[in-house]
Amino acid sequence: MTQEFESYLLPTYARQSVSFVEGKNAILVDSHGKEYIDFASGIAVCSVGHSNERLNKAICDQISKVTHVSNLFAIEPQEQCAQKIVALSNYSMKCFFGNSGAEANEGAIKIARKFGEVNGSPKRYKIITLEHSFHGRTITALKATGQESMHNYFGPFPDGFVYAKNIDEIESLLDEHTVAVMIELVQGEGGVQPLDRAKVQSLSALLKSRNILLMVDEVQTGIYRTGEFLASNLYGIEPDVITLAKGLGGGVPIGVVMTNRVNIFAPGDHGSTFGGNYLSCAAANEVLDILEEIKVTGELDETLIYFEASLENFAQHHRAIFQEHVGFGLMRGLRVVDADTLASIINHARDEGVIVLKAGRNTLRFLPALTITKADIDEGFARLEKAMGNL
């Protein structure tokens, strides 16, 4: 943050002193004209890259007609978006639209709580999440987040959240008051930590046998980030509730909670002023069309394979620093030997003109646009090699 604006913005971010003024796909340009290869895409948001011509046109066309009317009226782009999401998911579900991942997770929690209220006695309200999880920064989503350090100062919180150390411990924590389990199939903020596929499938079967909801937070993993439309598809499970956001709008704020409990909400149970308006859904519809096309043609899979190979080659050149390569698709991470080295890599990378991220305590995180080109992948890793030479 520049000194000029420090008096006006709350200090909630440790902002880097770089201001971007334009971009094109996986390239950003700062206010001094310096170009950067963007391996972050706004933290998995700009899924079709910066200044995508098709997305820009869809947004401009919609703004020239109508931007917002509220959910008191039918919104055709919202109906179309819900239809596309359900079709691409291959699940029999219905959608509710909000503005963010945190709001989507709040909706998921409300679905679970009402499900627990109306389905027998005793009352079921407990929701199990995993340690190191991240589900948002609203009060309830923050409490669902299994990171104790994030709970400082903001209590008292809503009751009913239980944290499992790992997926193996979940079964032992189930009791007569448990209504749902909420997990990320790949923990993003927790360090790009994938869950074991077989264990997730076993958990899914167990919860179904006990009529306990499986809720999957796909805010970061969804919309082809892991290679399939949903990470749930990749894991071969059928959740009861799924949440989406980030890459769905390509930079326009949007969030979705979708569920197979299609009759759980009645009019008045939930709502959003801005959620699913003309602007956000017009953007999301175009993003879905673009990404479906590159998936069907094989272009996306080629990009995933190329990026994975490039990242692995980079990691092998620096075995003393990178201890492990983790993640799926274009949600990747390298475990770094210590936190100081990680911070130094990120800073030197920025100096060399490439944007990378931190996740957890020691993970270098990569979340490039799904439309990134091989040339930009090559250039990005070439710049990272220069950055490593400056450590």
Tens of pLDDT, residue by residue over 196-251, are 999 999 999 999 999 999 999 999 999 999 999 999 999 999 999 999 999 999 99
Domains and CATH numbers, the chain: 55-295 (3.40.640.10)
Residue 324 confidence (pLDDT): 95
Residues pairing with 258 in the sheet: 95, 242
Directed axis angle between helix 278-296 and helix 53-63, to 10°?
Answer: 150
C-alpha to C-alpha distance for 90 and 252, rounded to whole angstroms: 25
C-alpha to C-alpha distance for 321 and 248, rounded to whole angstroms: 34
Q: Is 382 helix (H, G, I), strand (E, B) or coil?
A: helix
Residue 144 confidence (pLDDT): 97
C-alpha to C-alpha distance for 251 and 8, rounded to whole angstroms: 24
Instruction: Give how far Cα 3 sits from Cα of 8, 15, 19, 164, 344, Å.
Output: 10, 12, 13, 43, 24
Q: What is the DSSP string of 127-150?
A: EEEEBT----SSHHHHHHSB-GGG
C-alpha to C-alpha distance for 115 and 118, rounded to whole angstroms: 6
Residue 3 confidence (pLDDT): 66
**Per-residue pLDDT for 61 more than 60?**
yes
C-alpha to C-alpha distance for 112 and 110, rounded to whole angstroms: 5
- Mean pLDDT score, 72-78: 97
Reported pTM: 0.96
Tens of pLDDT, residue by residue over 314-346, are 999 999 999 999 999 999 999 999 999 999 999
Tell me the average pLDDT of the chain.
96
Weakest-pLDDT range from 12-21, 73-82, 103-112, 246-255: 12-21
Q: Residue 25 has what DSSP assignment? A: B
**Per-residue pLDDT for 348 more than 80?**
yes
Cβ contact 213:174 at 8 Å: no
**Per-residue pLDDT for 312 more than 60?**
yes
**Per-residue pLDDT for 276 more than 70?**
yes
Per cent of the chain over pLDDT 90 is 94
Q: Residue 168 has what DSSP assignment? A: G
C-alpha to C-alpha distance for 292 and 72, rounded to whole angstroms: 31
Residue 183 confidence (pLDDT): 98
Q: What are phi and psi of 142, to 5 degrees?
A: -65, -40
- Mean pLDDT score, 98-117: 97
Q: Residue 151 has what DSSP assignment? A: G
Q: Which residues contact 195 (CB under 8 A, 6 or more apart)?
A: 167, 183, 184, 185, 186, 187, 235
Q: Is 19 helix (H, G, I), strand (E, B) or coil?
A: coil
The more confident residue out of 17 and 153 is 153
Tens of pLDDT, residue by residue over 40-53, are 999 999 999 999 99
Tens of pLDDT, residue by residue over 112-127, are 999 999 987 889 999 9
Structure-block tokens of residue 361: 């305590």
Q: Is 22 helix (H, G, I), strand (E, B) or coil?
A: strand
Give the number of other Cβ atoms within 10 Å of residue 347's Cβ. 14
Q: Measured between alpha carbons, how far apart are the two ends of the chain, in Å?
A: 25
Residue 119 confidence (pLDDT): 82
Read off the amino acid at residue 300: L
Q: Is 177 helix (H, G, I), strand (E, B) or coil?
A: coil
**Per-residue pLDDT for 385 more than 70?**
yes
Q: Residue 231 has what DSSP assignment? A: H
Read off the amino acid at residue 367: L
